[in-house]
Amino acid sequence: MPRTRLFAANWKMHKTPAQASHFVRDFLPLISNHADREIVLFPPAICIPATVEAAKRSQLHVGAQNLCWEKAGAFTGEISAAMLVAAGCTHVIIGHSERRQYFGETDAMVNKKLKAALESRLTPILCVGEALQEREAGDTDDVLRRQCTEAFREISAVSAAKLAIAYEPVWAIGTGKTATPEMAAAAHETIRAEAADVFGNKFSKGLRILYGGSVRPDNAGELMAESEIDGALIGGASLEAKSLAAIVNS
Ligand code: PGA
């Protein structure tokens, strides 16, 4: 069965609730009805209700950029998986490199977040990727394998069914530098091999692996033509309705 393409718009810390609604209104007429692709907006948490409302009865899904692994309790500033589901989220990004880099997220935390998301039936998009020094030192495969092994700890193939992974080389995020389709394909093969080792071949064949890092309308076509690339995680270029539409329609 072909893997359904997944396009994830990561707005990071951009847009107010009103701007999020306007985006959806502008964006919907620009996309054809793509039954073969999943399109998910990841607004800041405060914009989730407005985005869900604006996207109602459309093909758009809404997800969160982060979640807490705990169910409830004294965790100031955090949001649980159940709260995200109640607010209308279907997806969640986990372990984005900005969270790892600026907010001290470790592989162990990523593992706990992944378990919490899967238990709540959210579709997690687990982000992995090497830093520039790691690529230059020839450590890309080791880094990707380690991030995946640690994230997958104590998770079964059955419970991981909804998992998607985004390969996001840190040196390509927000820098205008994009991995070539060949570089991305090689990294995706490493990730797929690790998923096969942990969850089995059948699982790994169905696993969606997205590419993220300076995806733009002018390079999306070339990247999406690569059979190992099952969609994109888009940051900067997802903030404008026209440019996200051009990528999704590519
Ligand atoms: P970018 O961000 O498209 O702006 O490089 C991608 C991401 O961080 O998800």
Confidence of residue 222 (pLDDT cuts 50, 70, 90): very high
Task: Look at residue 107 in the predicted model and tell me its pLDDT.
Answer: 97
State pLDDT tens for residues 115-141: 999 999 999 999 999 999 999 999 999
Is the predicted pLDDT of residue 35 greater than 90, yes or no?
no
**What are the structure tokens assigned to 111, written together?**
């593992």
Is the predicted pLDDT of residue 34 greater than 80, yes or no?
no
The closest residue, in CA terms, to atom 1 on ligand 1 is 235
127 CA closest ligand 1 atom index = 9
8 CA closest ligand 1 atom index = 9
Provide the mean pLDDT of the chain.
97
Whole-model pTM above 0.75?
A: yes
The helix/strand/coil state of 162 is: coil
Task: Look at residue 76 in the predicted model and tell me its pLDDT.
Answer: 98
Is the Cα torsion angle 103, 122, 184, 193 positive or negative in sign?
Answer: positive
The mean pLDDT of 185-199, rounded to a whole number, is 98
